[in-house]
Amino acid sequence: MSPYQLVFGKSCHLPFELEFRMEAYDSSSTYTERIKAYHDKMISPRELTLGDVVLLHNSRLSLFPGKLKSKWTGPYMIKKIYDSGTIELLAPDDILFQANGHRVKKFYNSDKVMEEDEISLEEPPKE
């Protein structure tokens, strides 16, 4: 029983607009839950190991306008991974420094992709 029903002895009939708002709130909360579940399902975990080559996001470059300017610097090699998520990186000039693990992404060298064997295409035999 609602408090209104206890006091007045009859059920309360809400105006149509208030009922509509309650339905809209319920549907938006279910929509939010569904979108969150979908988003969480699409996230793939990043696994960084010692010796991986990574790029570092330089947030200072995002302050200057430039569509084609890369915000990633590197490549750097991972030397140590701490439990707090901090990563110790080795620069190409042998300087060690630390960075947040959220600011790095794996670097895939294009030379390794191009090293595949070449396949020569020949004319099929005529019958």
pLDDT band at 115 (very low <50, low <70, confident <90, very high): very low
Q: What is the pTM of this model?
A: 0.53
Residue listed under structure tokens 């059920």: 11
**What would the two tokens of residue 118 be?**
């070449």
Q: Which fold has domain 53-109?
A: SH3 type barrels. (2.30.30)
| CA atoms 93, 99, 101, 105: torsion sign | negative
Lowest-confidence segment of 34-48, 56-70, 105-119 by average pLDDT: 105-119
User: pLDDT at position 20, please?
Assistant: 65
**What would the two tokens of residue 55 be?**
């790029």
Answer whether 47's CB lies under 8 Å from 38's CB: no
Lowest-confidence segment of 1-5, 12-16, 47-51, 109-113 by average pLDDT: 109-113
User: pLDDT at position 68, please?
Assistant: 73
Q: What is the mean pLDDT of residues 10-26?
A: 68
pLDDT at residue 124 tops 90? no
